[in-house]
Amino acid sequence: MDKAYLDKFYKKSLTERMDALVDANILSSDDLLLNEGLLLSDELADNMIENYLITYQLPLGAALNFLIDGKDYVVPMAIEEPSVIAAASAGAKIIAQAGGFKTTISERIMIGQVALKNIPDISLAKINLTNHKKDILKKANAAHPSIVNRGGGAKDLSIRVIEQDEEAATPEFLIVHIHIATMEAMGANIINTMMEGITGYLESLTGGTALMSILSNYATECLATATCQISVDLLKRNDFSGEDIRDRLIEAGQLAYVDPYRAVTHNKGIMNGIDAVVLASGNDWRAISAGVHAYASRSGQYRALSSWKKAENGDLIGELTLPLPVGSVGGSISIHPAAQFSKRLLGYQSAKELEAVIVSVGLAQNFSALKALVTEGIQKGHMGLQARSLAISAGATGKAIEQVSEQLKHAKNMNLATAKELLQEILSLEE
């Protein structure tokens, strides 16, 4: 990657941005010819979902400046919210100057569940399941031999008992977890097939009745961690010293740890980046989001996902850990043309590498949001892009968009009515 071509990327026109990505050896010249080919055809869309009518488009942009484990990335993000990509890029630029992100990715293990009820003897059932563990895993692997041939498959078994809750009127459940390596796939279909393949056998071993057999999207054995360490010299901003911003940012993280009302908004900001990359990559952002928010509640209280602290030398240290069971193959990743474009743009080679990028984007997003909140406030960065949205909503096109949005920034009331008035004034001067 030749980053020189990406300088002042946000000031370039659409054509200039695409040319710059080719010149920087991130995309090939063939990508410039795709354009309409990146859109979903009616035929493909109709086969992806039921009762298809039209496609609903989101802008897909590029976040820059990401240095992750010593490698530079241009990150695709699909999102409708203004300032997210700008904030991610700005945060990543500061962190890159500090040495970039360092990541740790756990072994990629997913969990499948069979929930059993009406078991006559829970203790005996647990003994039978433990004694027949090898047979259970063997039957699970027999249900999906292709993943075993690729080095994956069912690796372990664990048992949970959820006791009867009379107040909630729930019965006693025995839950069998199968721990499965899904390799490069997210693995939902693989896991579901395996769990259904062993259901009858588990019923015979326990004497119970299966209520359901399905994967869990709470992927506690598929974790990704990103860290960064930033010198206070890189944190200075306007009237705020680097030390002041560091301390205020740490306190903001502490507030989000103890206050669920703040934690929800804190984590939503992180997910602005996470969801946008997951969506662009063709992965299931709903599954990721559900698992991440469950992980934020693992202590019994909903808390901040990230942590910020002061290093011994005075630097700011940030860390973010998330369950990220994404795939690099399968599902819409392999068939959606925009997901394929995103894969070429990002240039990742494995699901683990994709996890590393996604968790780093989340940490960059969090850093930028907190830095803005504890200094000039969150609205300043939002307003510029909000002004453009209002200008377009008012009917501005071409050069008038920039003219209206620039005047809106200095107007007493930044709203649609003001945008329409400004547009009329600009158009009348041109007549």
| Catalytic sites, residue numbers | 81, 268, 284, 382
Computed from CA positions of residues 48, 51, 54, 58, in that sequence, does the dihedral angle turn out positive or negative? negative
Farthest CA pair distance, the chain:
88
Asked if 389 contacts 343 with a C-beta cutoff of 8 angstroms, the reply is no
Closest CA to 326 of 271, 288, 361: 288
Asked if 408 contacts 388 with a C-beta cutoff of 8 angstroms, the reply is no
- Residue 61, strand partner residues: 77
Strand order in the sheet with 153-162: 153-162, 173-181, 109-117, 209-216
Closest CA to 325 of 217, 225, 226: 217
Encoded tokens for 118:
């009406």
Asked if 27 contacts 18 with a C-beta cutoff of 8 angstroms, the reply is yes
From CA 20, how far away is CA 2, in angstroms rounded?
10
